[in-house]
Amino acid sequence: MDFAELVRGFPELTTTGLVQGAIYALIALGYTLVYGVLRLINFAHSEVFMIGTFGAIWTWAAFGLDSNSGAPSVGRSLLLIALAIVAAALLSGSVALLIEVTAYRPLRRRNAPPLAFLITAIGASYALMELMGTLTQRRQIGSPALLPADTLFSIGGWSVTPVQMLTLSVAIIMMVGLDWFVNRTRFGKGIRAVAQDANTAALMGVNKSRVIALVFVLGGLMAGVAAVFSDMKSGNTRYNIGFLLGLKAFSAAVLGGIGNLRGAAIGGIMLGLVENYGSALFGSQWRDLIAFVVLIVLLMFRPTGLLGESLGRARA
């Protein structure tokens, strides 16, 4: 164990951990939203994210930028990032909706047992992964450099790059926005009603199918935003990027209490941080192991996760 490494690298480990955690959190929200309403673990959500990472890179490619082009000006970079966020969010949201309408909705119509949904989810996940694998010849695709890699500001030994700053601010805006939407708007109330009691929600005039579709789209939008920042953080993407990231984000959702929105946000951030501190302590080859060990240990003591289950059951 290398405590010196942890202490020395603490500020940087915290920043990069928060950034990775924000990406986990945004993806985790999609798992938790769908679970909250349908009690279904949408394993295809990892591919919704994966397709978003390509959506962003294709958007940049449409403006003539690839991994070899030099960084454009800051203003132009911000504009390109904003465009990529919109494009990736729309693409991921549409893919999520497509999965719901073509894969899950027919099963619900026939009152299929839960196992059928689970198998369908895994099938949809592989289908999308292989589709993208074929389209991209299973190559790693680079993402252009957009914002300068130098330090934006530093306090003491704590330095933050523009990409990190942007990731964290946008992630916070998205999460606060989603929280507001679910807790304060009429549609959000419909989501919470279906999550708490679907039959009674129908008796209030809530269209369950529409709520379910909305939940898939919301999860997809969040995953699309995460995808853009994942591209900028790692500098590339691949058809199978969703597998591990999706698994981690799902763990984050479980860590926070699946079905609980704020739980997913906190679980994601925590997982990002713990992973980073742990890999400094034990060596980075242990990174993934640490994440899952933390999950298992926490679930032993708090089986329903940090904040407990259910969408809006407790308002907090």
Partner 1 sequence: MLLEIDNLKLLYGRIEALHGISLHVEQGEIVALIGANGAGKTTTMKAISGLHAISGGSIRFDGTDVSRLRADLRVIRGIGQSPEGRGVFPGMTVLENLEMGAYTRRDKADIAKDLAMVFDLFPRLHERRKQAGGTLSGGEQQMLAVGRALMTRPKLLLLDEPSMGLAPKLIQQIFEIITRINEQGTTILLVEQNAQQALSRAHRGYVLETGRIVKEGTGQELLHDPAVKEAYLGVA
Return all residues near 122 (Cβ < 8 A) that are at least 6 apart. Answer: 43, 44
Q: Which two tokens stand for residue 20?
A: 């990775």
CA angle 96, 23, 30 (to 5 degrees): 30
User: What is the x/- site pattern for partner 1, positions 274-313, by CB under 8 A?
Assistant: ------------------------------------x-xx
Three-class SS state of 56:
helix
Residues 104-136 as b/e (b if ≥16 CB within 10 A, e otherwise) read: beebeeeeeeeeebeebbeebbeebbeebbeee
Q: Which of 73, 137, 199, 285 binds partner 1 (CB under 8 A)?
A: 199
**Between 68 and 111, CB nearer to partner 1:** 111
Residue 49 to residue 25: CA distance in whole angstroms:
12
Stretch near partner 1 under the rule CB under 8 A, chosen from 50-58, 62-70, 203-211, 249-257: 203-211
185 binds partner 1, rule: CB under 8 A:
no
108 binds partner 1 (CB under 8 A): no
Q: Please, are residues 50 and 244 in contact by the beta-carbon 8 Å criterion?
A: no
Size of the site for partner 1 (CB under 8 A): 22
Give whole-number Cα distances, 310 to 105, 116, 214, 295, in Å.
22, 23, 17, 19
Of 203, 296, 300, 301, which lies in the binding site for partner 1, with binding defined by CB under 8 A? 203
What's the full length of the chain, in residues? 316
Residue number with CB closer to partner 1 (55 or 312) = 312
Least Cβ distance, residue 185 to partner 1 (angstroms): 12
Q: Which two tokens stand for residue 269?
A: 């951030």
Using the rule CB under 8 A, which residue among 193, 212, 252, 298 binds partner 1?
193
Instruction: Note whether 208 binds partner 1 by CB under 8 A.
Output: yes
Please pick, from the candidates 173, 197, 283, 297, the single residue that binds partner 1 as defined by CB under 8 A. Answer: 197
Q: Could you say which of 110, 205, 285, 296 contacts partner 1 (CB under 8 A)?
A: 205
CB closer to partner 1, 68 vs 199: 199
Residues that bind partner 1 (CB under 8 A): 186, 189-190, 192-193, 196-197, 199-208, 310, 312-315
